[in-house]
Chain A
Amino acid sequence: KQEVTQIPAALSVPEGENLVLNCSFTDSAIYNLQWFRQDPGKGLTSLLLIQSSQREQTSGRLNASLDKSSGRSTLYIAASQPGDSATYLCAVPSTPLVFGKGTRLSVIA
């Protein structure tokens, strides 16, 4: 059974810092991995989807990487801003999606 783990559960950083969020999965037979953002009281917004044939995917200040062989993905946020404060979740397809429990990020001005 696919399991997805996100460490740390919470992270607090000063504004302007570059940071990395981690996602690990147990079954490497995946065809993509998605990163989502969730603001308090809101649904999830898809940030990036990396296909298994890709190593990286970029959107603005966000860069996600995928290493299937090691069962890991990272989400890199450059020059963090207070508006980046949210919970970030990763998910992998497994009839149909298995989610991590997320990392709650606080960017302090």
Chain B
Amino acid sequence: NAGVTQTPKFRVLKTGQSMTLLCAQDMNHEYMYWYRQDPGMGLRLIHYSVGEGTTAKGEVPDGYNVSRLKKQNFLLGLESAAPSQTSVYFCASRRLGDNSPLHFGNGTRLTVT
């Protein structure tokens, strides 16, 4: 039972480069989320999705785009990476229902030079 899988685990980008982070869950969860975690800032929500084909902005969406073409996958894109996007990115998912717990992936550590 894989749960929530994130790829890649590590990545170094140069300023201006683009990349896509992939999140896959095998639990048939409706809700999926992208967070970034920075020292002293805690976890901040970037974008989220409440179902296939739908996405919404979170607390810090600027500079990121997302897509949810399939229920099990949630992609996070950086079109033109900036050093301020150096962070650890976490994907999470949960099933429908107010009291369903959140399941996290192990994160992607991104460095933008």
Q: Measuring CB to CB, which residues of chain A are less than 8 angstroms from any residue of chain B?
A: 31-32, 34, 36, 41-46, 49, 51, 89, 91, 93, 96-97, 99-102
Contact = CB atoms under 8 A, between A and B. Distances in A.
B98 interface: yes
Contact of B101 (A49, A100, A101, A102): A49
B90 A43 contact: yes
Chain B facing A: main interface SS: strand
B54 to A, nearest CB: 13
B74 interface: no
Residue in B4, B48, B104 with the greatest tally of chain A CB atoms within 10 Å = B104
B98 A34 contact: no
Contact of A99 (B43, B105, B107): B43
B27 interface: no
B99 A49 contact: yes
